[in-house]
Amino acid sequence: MATRIVIIGGGPAGNSCATTAARLGADVVLIERDVIGGAAHLRDCIPSKAMIASGNARSFLRRSVRMGLREVSSELDLAKLGERLRAIERRLETQTRTLLASQRVELVHGTATIIDEHTVRSESGAGTIDHEADIIVLATGSRPRIPEWAAIDHDRVMTTRDAYPPASLPSHAIVIGSGVTGVEFVHLFESMGSDVTLVVSRQQVLPGKDPEVAAALEEDFLRRGVRLFKGARATGVERDGDEVIVHCDDGRVARGSHVLLAIGSIPNSEDLGLENAGVETDRGYVPVDRDLQSNVPHIYAAGDLSGRLPLSSVATMQGRKIAEHAMGALNPERHRYIDYDKAASAIFTEPEIADVGLAEADAFSEGRKVRVTKVPFASAAKALINDDSRGFVKIVSDPATGVVLGGSIVGRHAAELISVLALAVTNGLTVSDIHESLLVHPTLAEALSEAAE
């Protein structure tokens, strides 16, 4: 009899596990209570990038007079933007449903709960079904964290999920939280025409990122008129008619038209019935080993719920690895465990920011000898052609072997360009492997080749 796998959650983690396991011969049931494609994925990751693309188009149009065009209208139409976002969501959901159906994955709409070690119950308006499982995969994702000091009204006091797009464009948006999501929203609102204040609890935006990279972004924000409240922790949010007021622990007060909270997420695990199967949790996350097994070996966890890197790309890879492990399909010669330290990531601000592997600052704080080469995009012909010479490429390599250990890119298309360095870092390529590759001219990628010289 085929292995029966029940997956809870139809985001990137659940879907990739489902399609891979089905291809490997499993009977797969996937239970999703909301949107096939994933709530965090389709209701945060994708619409935020789609809105940023619209904001970027507006900025580009406003700059285009410098490129020999007459000024064109760049007025924002929030209703049209909303339609665009819904259309993208529908399209991606349909694509995912079609893919799952083509692999004969059984899709069940409903909320799932674990009843015992081998039974998952799904409940919906249509009724209750108990699903027997040899393997259970938990891929329930996460949702925005809401602190007790902020009463979300989904209108002027918002989480990210209220903002695709907001009901009205903020005349002055106050963004609380200066991690990846916070700075993306600063960029997004500013590019759409809002005044923006960013409340930064530390002294650096993007804490944890390479300080030089964070400084480049900060400089750009200041140039665009963004107000930074540095070293200020928000402690209260109140509404006064159409105004919102944010109180900070150092006594400062920010006033605006809207507040957006971007202070992290919490795992969707509280009503899953994990205790019925003895699955342990840590602050709501399900700890997993390198094969993504929980403390109960036939119950795996993936995606945001696993408490590892909360990225769609990581969730997808974890889902696939679980399917291969559970189906005994690991090829011992080719198998690699996920190395989270080598995951490429990007921040879709303007300029874009992307990095992978070892950061220069981390190498120095660890006392590790590295070679760092940095090339500004201003030296690439393509930057002049694009009328945008902001940013740089930085490569961190081993001085003895030339092996690429990491890198950061700030500038246009950084999120695409980082793939070259990600390939190098994951596969142990050297700077001369990059430098000896014949690249297209004129491209921004030539700055990578120069930095690898």
Taking CB under 6 A as the rule, does residue 11 contact ligand FAD? yes
Residue pair 286/160 in contact (Cβ under 8 Å)? The answer is no
Q: Is 108 in the site for ligand FAD (CB under 6 A)?
A: no
> Could you tell me the sign of the dihedral formed by the alpha carbons of 8, 10, 14, 18, in that order?
positive
Among residues 286 and 359, whose Cβ is nearest to ligand FAD? 286
Of 55, 170, 182, 310, the residue at the interface with ligand FAD (CB under 6 A) is 310
**Which of 41, 209, 308, 321: binder of ligand FAD (CB under 6 A)?**
41
Distances (CA, A) of 2 to 156, 258, 301: 52, 53, 21
Binding ligand FAD by CB under 6 A: which of 5, 6, 7, 8? 8
Q: Among 272, 274, 326, 452, indicate the residue that binds ligand FAD (CB under 6 A).
A: 272
Taking CB under 6 A as the binding criterion, the range among 224-232, 278-286, 306-314, 381-389 that sits at the site for ligand FAD is: 306-314
Name the token pair of 185: 């929203």
Residue selected from 74, 293, 313, 389 as contacting ligand FAD according to rule CB under 6 A: 313
Of 271, 278, 356, the closest CA to residue 311 belongs to: 356
Q: Does 89 bind ligand FAD (CB under 6 A)?
A: no
**Residue 32 near ligand FAD by CB under 6 A:** yes
Short-list 275, 340, 330, CA closest to 307: 340
Query: What DSSP line would sit under 222-237, residue for residue?
Result: HHTT-EEEET--EEEE
Structure tokens, 448: 């990578």
Helix pair 180-191, 211-223: axis angle to 10 deg: 20
Which residues are within 8 A (CB) of 176 and not within 5 positions of it... i.e. 6 or more apart? 150, 182, 199, 234, 237, 246, 259, 260, 261, 262, 263
What is the distance of C-alpha 331 from the center of its chain? 29
Instruction: In angstroms, give the least distance from the CB of 128 to ligand FAD.
Output: 13
Handedness of CA 381, 385, 388, 394 (dihedral sign): negative
Kindly state the number of chain residues that form the binding site for ligand FAD, as judged by CB under 6 A. 37
Asked if residue 111 binds ligand FAD (CB under 6 A), the reply is: yes
Question: Which span sits near ligand FAD by CB under 6 A: 37-45, 166-174, 293-301, 399-407?
Answer: 37-45
Distance CA 253, CA 255 (A): 7
Q: Which of 268, 281, 386, 449 binds ligand FAD (CB under 6 A)?
A: 268
- Residue 93 found at the interface with ligand FAD (CB under 6 A): no
Peptide bond into 442 cis (omega under 30): yes
Residue 112 as a binder of ligand FAD (CB under 6 A): the answer is yes
Part in contact with ligand FAD (CB under 6 A); list of ranges 40-48, 75-83, 384-392, 416-424: 40-48
Residue number, 192 or 383, with CB nearest to ligand FAD: 192
Q: What's the closest the beta carbon of residue 309 comes to ligand FAD, in angstroms?
A: 8
- What residues are paired with 372 via a beta bridge? 396
Stretch that binds ligand FAD, among 10-18, 67-75, 92-100, 195-203 (CB under 6 A): 10-18
Contacts of 103 (CB under 8 A, 6+ apart): 18, 19, 22, 23, 28
Least distance in Å: CB of 166 to ligand FAD? 14
From the list 3, 24, 34, 107, which residue makes contact with ligand FAD (rule: CB under 6 A)?
34
Report the candidate in 93, 121, 92, 94 with the shortest Cα–Cα distance to residue 108.
121
Nearer to ligand FAD, 47 or 451 (CB): 47
Of 57-65, 74-82, 134-142, 389-397, the window that binds ligand FAD (rule: CB under 6 A) is: 134-142
For the bound state, the minimum distance from the C-beta of residue 22 to ligand FAD, rounded and expressed in Å, comes to: 17
Stretch that binds ligand FAD, among 68-76, 96-104, 304-312, 363-371 (CB under 6 A): 304-312
Site string for ligand FAD, 417-446 (x = CB under 6 A): ------------------------------
Distance, CA of 122 to CA of 113 (rounded, Å):
7
How far from each other are the two terminal CA atoms of the chain, in whole angstroms? Answer: 57
Q: Please identify which residue in 139, 292, 383, 404 interacts with ligand FAD, judged by CB under 6 A.
A: 139
Please enumerate in sequence order all residues whose Cβ is within 8 A of that of 335, keeping only pairs 6 or more positions apart, or say none.
324
* Segment holding 427, helix H or strand E: helix 414-427
**Chain contacts with ligand FAD (rule: CB under 6 A):** 8-14, 31-35, 38-41, 44-45, 48-49, 111-112, 139-141, 160, 181, 268, 272, 303-305, 310-313, 315
